[in-house]
Structure 1
């Protein structure tokens, strides 16, 4: 009878130890997931070309103004690039096509302490049914400014 209680006690102890170890492993896995997720979703504003790339993705591809605010100054001059995006949206609605934007290499030019121009060639394409209808390329310059180690887009112009 004593050996039965002893085995039962050992079994409960082994079960409790196993449950404790599994709980710690799950807690550790959740911690590792959180750290990896935080690193993967961190906003990168360490360089003017990086922030310009992220701005273009948010503004012209995702068309998400809340996301755009993460990459722009408090009062950016985006009138020219806003007209381009509005034109893209109007063409989609008017002709029932998909209008997309892509860009080439981002070329940095220092214009002073904490300010750089980032130039690139935007390509605006129209497609319908998976078939390219039209495409045009335009040169654009984006003014980036650094404040407290973070770069932000403060303007966008299309040179003449």
Structure 2
């Protein structure tokens, strides 16, 4: 039996062996395929929408955790405070880590001004990092002792490092906040 192109296209034509039942079955089959295609597109669309919503929620949660200010321990607050002042060079941003009646701003601002003056004078970038944290908490007050490492680049490419010991006083005001900072003399 040879293929019949007229029948293969699902068009009944004027054939005597083509009955109205065949035509109804062909229409029913075509309708079933169209509905199945629509159903799969709807499922694909809803799945894509859900994936986008879940991805957005996860992204928001991860971003929020990464950028949230952590005031859970005095040492973490001191580290974020020093990073904000010396790495970001943002004294206004450091206010979120300070007590209402903080006296730490002046000493940190003086050190930052000295560093920036040297950077301008010698056209270099000075890095400040922290090390050797020691903290003691008594009630709502805490003291954190930390070493500030000041790395100054030299002509030979290697940094020259000086270490300064600093003492920070903190108070728990809805999370730990820096109330005072003083350089300790050796």
User: Does the pair score TM above 0.5?
Assistant: yes
**Equivalent position to 1:126, from 135, 149, 152:** 152
Give the aligned length. Answer: 158
Give the deviation of 1:128 after TM superposition: 5.1
**Equivalent position to 1:86, from 105, 109, 113:** 113
Q: Is 2:132 the partner of 1:105? A: yes
How does 1:44-63 map onto structure 2 within 5 Å? 44-63=70-89
RMSD: 1.8
Q: Which runs of 4+ in 1 moved over 3 A?
A: none
Give the deviation of 1:75 after TM superposition: 3.2
Give the deviation of 1:101 after TM superposition: 1.0
**Higher alpha-carbon deviation: 36-45 or 129-138:** 129-138
Question: Any conservation in 2 of the 1:44–1:51 contact (CA below 8 Å)?
Answer: yes
Question: Any conservation in 1 of the 2:99–2:173 contact (CA below 8 Å)?
Answer: no
Residues 58-102 of structure 1 deviation map (CA, whole Å, 9 limit, x = unaligned): 111211123212211123212122111100000000111111111
**Equivalent position to 2:58, from 24, 32, 37:** 32
Q: State the match for 2:102 in structure 1.
A: 76
Residues 90-123 of structure 1 deviation map (CA, whole Å, 9 limit, x = unaligned): 000011111111121211123x421111101112
With a CA cutoff of 8 Å and minimum separation of 6, indicate the structure with the bigger relative contact order: 1
TM-score (norm 2): 0.77
Q: State the match for 2:141 in structure 1.
A: 115
